Structure 1
Amino acid sequence: MPDKVKRRLTTVLCADVHGYSRLMEADEAGTLETLRRYRTAIARLVERHDGRIVNTWGDAVIAEFASVVEAVQCAVEIQQEISNQDSGPPPPMRFRIGINLGDVMVDGSDLYGDGVNIAARLQELAEPGGIVISSSAYDQVHNKLSVGFDCLGQRPMKNIAPVTSYRVTMSGQTAQARSFPPGERLTSQTASAGSQTDAAHRDRSESSNWMGFVSDGLAKLPRPIFTGMHKIWFHWPVAALLFGAIMRTALRDRPESGGKSER
């Protein structure tokens, strides 16, 4: 009987070098030396945030974290440290990072399944030096870290069903003042439309204030117990008030005459 597949919910970080083949073609020895130096820095930061390196092949790094917050914080520090180190004359080496919280299959020290594959696809969506996380990771960290998030919506992914993703905005990138749910965007056009709508509401509210005043007054008056022509004296003050308000409004709104009429 085959062994039962072990599964667990975990956070997977996937990183690789943008344009690695181009860098190797330009300078194999220098690129490999730089890659080794950055991998050492990545391993140190992963360990600092209680993660572990799962696998490395080519220019890729796969790491696992028990905490989503620690994984995203580690990714931010990785990008910051690489950016600070990369100041030499050769073409800069930039990593793209994807992070996903999901179910994985465990085989010894290796991880398999959609949980890993989604992290790899999110990494492909990231800009050089950037970080993209899944919505499952975003739900856990969006209010726990001092970074911003831009919703990217659902992007097509090779051999993977689309998932909603978010770009992490760090210092040096344009950060949103707040995070937006999928499909929502704050633009100057929507802001202008909102202002115009508010102004229209205010105008309508001001023009109908007197009507509301009269209606409230009428609603608070006691209803007559008796009916009939001999009780009409009870209603005349209300009718006079209403007639006066209507006449004032009509006279105020009537356009002024352009000149005197001729006889």
Structure 2
Amino acid sequence: MNAAVTRKLTTILAADAERFSAAMEADEDGTYAALKAAQKVFFKLIEQRGGRVANTAGDGLIADFPSVVEAVRCALDVQQELGEAENSLRFRIGVHLGDVICDGADLIGEGVNLAARLQAMADPGGILISRQVYDQVKNKFNIGFDYLGERRAKNLPEEIEVFRITYGAEATARMDSLRPKVDVPRPRSKVSQVWEDDFDSASASAQTAADLPARVMDKRLPWVAGGVGVAVIMNIGSGGSFWPAWPVLVFGMLYGLRHGTEMVGRKTFKSVPIQIWVLSIFLLCINLMSQSGPWSLIPIGAMFGISLLARGSRRDKTAGNQTPDLRQ
């Protein structure tokens, strides 16, 4: 009979080997030996940092720690030791602080899912952490943190803020060199299967943006924005006779709706979706080119207001759904 189901607040570390199935096909014996060697490293360092392995699945594992700091220290130690080993598998690691369900020795629930989602987005040899973890460790390590923006997880009403741990220029260059040069679909382990690729269909190109720091813009943005801006200015300056500005403006709007998230490097700005910013700029340019009164302010204000109200409503709903768990 299973032990009673309880809940606890803990730090979850999720890890998964990069392209393990492909490596097994190429060299089954060698890859299996590398996996066992890597697992020994994980088990040793998790124990040293006061954590425990909750469950393993194929090439992945889930561990939990009573200390956020020790969980991050463990992740750093693991990546350093595996990075120095020859013929070692490269692992992605995600760390999240959250409430979980304890079903015997197993951990399940939203907290585990979020850690697994962070792991799935990490670079090989890299570590991603959530805002909850970042707030606890940002002043306790002599390392860097890159803010990657907000990511939406399936079946959750709120986006989560994601941070990447950096080790300095040399280590960052090393991890970038490990990124696959060819976009080959990565087989999922049982650990990473707890999440599906769930970027919104309206911004499917955000999958490419997942590896972009939020403060870094795509190189296409200045060209698209500059081209639209020049066309609009020429139309206004010519008194409306420069008609090519209209198709250029429409092209810019459609391109921004499809690739805006990828070009800007985030899904929202000032809590408003990038698509609404694109539509607002489109309406403002039409207003200027038509040389009429400021009618565009009404639909722009309505879109911004509805977006902010919807975001606030989702937050209230999330807080209401979490209230029963806090009383347990």
TM-score (norm. length: structure 1) = 0.62
Structure 1 stretch 51-60 or stretch 148-157: which is displaced more?
148-157
By percentage of residues, which structure has more helix? 2
Paired residue for 2:96? 100
Q: For residues 4-62 of structure 1, what are the alpha-carbon distances to aligned partners after superposition, in whole Å with 9 as ceiling and x for unaligned?
A: 74111000000000111110110111100000001001100001100001111110011
Q: Is the 8 A contact 1:76 1:170 kept in 2?
A: no
Structure-1 separation of matches of 2:5 and 2:25: 41
Q: For residues 220-242 of structure 1, what are the alpha-carbon distances to aligned partners after superposition, in whole Å with 9 as ceiling and x for unaligned?
A: xxxxxxxxxxxxxxxxxxxxxxx
Amino acid in structure 2 at the alignment position of 1:145: F
Spell out the pairing of 1:34-113 with structure 2 (5 A cutoff): 34-85=34-85, 87-88=86-87, 93-113=89-109
Structure-2 separation of matches of 1:66 and 1:81: 23
The counterpart of 1:170, out of the listed 167, 178, 184, is 167
Question: What is the CA-CA distance between 1:157 and the residue it aligns to?
Answer: 3.2
Question: What is the CA-CA distance between 1:185 and the residue it aligns to?
Answer: 3.6
Q: Is the 8 A contact 1:8 1:105 kept in 2?
A: yes
Question: What is the CA-CA distance between 1:156 and the residue it aligns to?
Answer: 3.5
Question: What is the CA-CA distance between 1:186 and the residue it aligns to?
Answer: 8.4
Residue aligned with 2:159, SS: coil
Amino acid in structure 2 at the alignment position of 1:62: I
Paired residue for 1:147? 143
Structure-1 separation of matches of 2:101 and 2:62: 14
Compute the RMSD of aligned alpha carbons: 2.1
Q: For residues 52-88 of structure 1, what are the alpha-carbon distances to aligned partners after superposition, in whole Å with 9 as ceiling and x for unaligned?
A: 0111111001111000100001101100000101x24
Paired residue for 1:121? 117
Q: Return closer, same or farther for 1:112/1:16 CA change in 2, 3 Å cut-off.
A: same
Residue aligned with 2:140, SS: coil
Structure-2 separation of matches of 1:35 and 1:184: 33
Counterpart check, 1:12 vs 2:8: no
Paired residue for 2:308? none
Q: For residues 174-230 of structure 1, what are the alpha-carbon distances to aligned partners after superposition, in whole Å with 9 as ceiling and x for unaligned?
A: 59xxxxxxx97489xxxxxxxxxxxxxxxxxxxxxxxxxxxxxxxxxxxxxxxxxxx
Residue aligned with 1:140, SS: helix
Structure-1 separation of matches of 2:53 and 2:66: 12
Amino acid in structure 1 at the alignment position of 2:96: N
Residue aligned with 2:80, SS: helix
Paired residue for 1:137? 133
Structure 1: 5+ residue runs without aligned partners?
176-182, 188-263
Structure-1 separation of matches of 2:141 and 2:76: 10
Structure 1 stretch 131-140 or stretch 157-166: which is displaced more?
157-166
Structure-1 separation of matches of 2:112 and 2:216: 33
Amino acid in structure 2 at the alignment position of 1:22: A
Amino acid in structure 1 at the alignment position of 2:162: S
Structure-1 separation of matches of 2:56 and 2:4: 26
Amino acid in structure 2 at the alignment position of 1:167: R
Q: Return closer, same or farther for 1:186/1:29 CA change in 2, 3 Å cut-off.
A: closer
State the aligned residue count: 174
Structure-2 separation of matches of 1:52 and 1:99: 14
Spell out the pairing of 1:238-253 with structure 2 (5 A cutoff): none
Spell out the pairing of 1:174-193 with structure 2 (5 A cutoff): 174=172, 185=215
Q: Is the 8 A contact 2:9 2:99 kept in 1?
A: yes
Q: Which has the larger radius of gyration?
A: 1
Q: Is the 8 A contact 1:54 1:109 kept in 2?
A: yes
Amino acid in structure 2 at the alignment position of 1:168: I
